[in-house]
Amino acid sequence: MQFLLFLSEILVPLILLSILVYGLLKRISVYEVFLTGAREGARTVARIMPTLVGLMIAVSILRASGLLTFLGNGIGMVTEQIGFSGTLVPLALVKLFSSSAATGLLLDIYREYGTDSRIGMIASIMLASTETVFYTMSVYFLSVQVTRTRWTLAGALIATLAGIVASAMLP
């Protein structure tokens, strides 16, 4: 166990050092390459920022308007039959767009039901095994300017559904 702790502490500095040494051996201006990458990263952030802000505002509006609770109650009537509480429906929907908003909902569930409750465990497993599909797709596809996403959305939604189903079955 001590070896793993040592390895985890030394790994990042070792990787950085190996990149620096490799660059020096190949006579590459490592600092210039770093600055070029940082400039490109800043441009990427500037390009995707409106999308990120839009997603965050949309999730905040949905949460504040009560629409998520309404959907949770409506869809919950069906999902209760298969052992998936209606309380978890808003969490599953929000997780598609924003992990931080989903974490806020998770904390609300913990306060109301407890972390060791069945609902708390399902919510924890669900957040750990699902992805922020729309956020991830918008960030990655906008950053590399992909216009044809093909089957990405369908595959991501199926994987998310599998994570939700698994989370309901595991505890």
Residue 171 pLDDT grade (very low, low, confident, very high; cuts 50, 70, 90)? confident
- Between 126 and 98, where is the model more confident? 126
Average pLDDT over residues 20-40: 91
- Distance CA(118)–CA(171), nearest Å, equals 7
> Quick one: pLDDT at residue 84?
83
Task: State percent of the chain over pLDDT 90.
Answer: 29
Predicted pLDDT at 21:
92
Q: pLDDT class for 160, splitting at 50, 70, 90?
A: very high
| Mean pLDDT along residues 1-12 | 85
Q: What is the pLDDT of residues 44-57, one digit of tens each?
A: 888 878 877 887 78
Q: What is the pLDDT of residue 112?
A: 92
C-beta of residue 89 within 8 angstroms of C-beta of residue 72: yes
User: Where are the domains positioned within the chain?
Assistant: 47-169
pLDDT of 114: 92
Separation CA 79–CA 55 (nearest Å) = 26
Pairwise CA distance, residues 45 & 64, whole Å? 27
- What is the spatial distance between Cα 130 and Cα 164, in angstroms, rounded to a whole number? 7
Q: Is the pLDDT score of 36 beyond 90?
A: yes
Q: Give pLDDT tens digits for 89-113.
A: 989 988 988 888 888 889 989 999 9
For 72-91, the pLDDT digits (tens) are 888 888 888 877 888 899 89
Buried b (16+ CB within 10 A) or exposed e, 67-103: ebbeebeebbeebeeeebbbbbbbbbbbbbbbbebbe
